[in-house]
Amino acid sequence: MKHKVVQKVENLGQLTVQYLERLGFAMRLFWDSFYWLIVGRKYKQRVRFAQIVKHIKMDGVDALPIVLALALVVGMMLAIQLIYALQAFGAQSQVLLAIAKSVTREFSPLITGIIVAGRSGAAIAARIGSQVVSQEIDALKVMGVVPVRYLVLPPLLALMISMPMLIIGADIVAIFGGALFSVGKLDMSITAYMVESFNVLVVGDIIQGLIKSVVFGVIIVLVGATTGFYVTGGAEGVGRATTTAVVVSISFIVLADMIASYFLTQ
């Protein structure tokens, strides 16, 4: 019995050390990415604009249809639930304010972050993991190419640029989705609903969502890259890495969302 307890404590200690090591590695990736962004040209390691544009298309533009579709559904869902809840207090007219602020502050960043984590986080982990397994990372080093600058920096910059744009699109469509269900209950036109929704918003509501989106983008890339660089076990390891990247990214996104919501609403 004593031996089993000691073994469990040792396993817990090993897992703790492993997670702290990966956290440190992710922070080092973030630091190195911006280091090479600043000094890359000096050492002939500049990031290519075409790479950033390519990742903006893959990680941002290609995700736009599913993000907008789910934003529309989320807006309608919020309208249904809020009208039902506020009817008990005779405050159906407040549904417009509630949807506008909850969408811009919370739901659009969170839903978009989860979708992009499932698409781009898994893709980054799979791409880097495959190159680790096939020893392409070692080949890049031999050729004098810094792996972080070539593999991590472009998607990092791309998501930091494209995530806010996705959020803005999701905000507009989600509010429109709320309008589709609410206008009949509130006896107003869709145009009037949209105008009034944007009138009740303040700059802080939009900024809060945009700040979260940039943080989520950084989390997705760092988790995906870190998981990819730690791949072992061949093709099977790559498959595990993609699953791990998605689960860990979403977990950190939810945690970061809670922390950001607390501090940004004080």
- pLDDT value at residue 2: 58
- Residue 146 structure tokens: 């810094």
- pLDDT value at residue 21: 87
Tell me the C-alpha distance between 27 and 20, whole Å: 11
- pLDDT value at residue 92: 67
- pLDDT value at residue 90: 66
151-177 b/e with 16+ CB inside 10 Å = b? Answer: bbbbbbbbbbbbbbebbbbbbbbbbbb
Helices (H), the chain: 2-39, 49-55, 64-87, 95-102, 108-116, 122-133, 136-142, 147, 153-186, 190-200, 203-229, 234-264
- pLDDT value at residue 91: 65
- pLDDT value at residue 196: 87
| Rg, C-alpha atoms of the chain | 22
Cβ proximity of 178 and 76 under 8 Å: yes
Q: What is the mean pLDDT of each run of 10 residues along the chain (266 residues)?
A: 71 81 89 85 79 90 92 90 76 79 90 92 91 86 84 92 93 91 81 87 89 94 92 83 91 92 80
Q: What is the pTM of this model?
A: 0.90
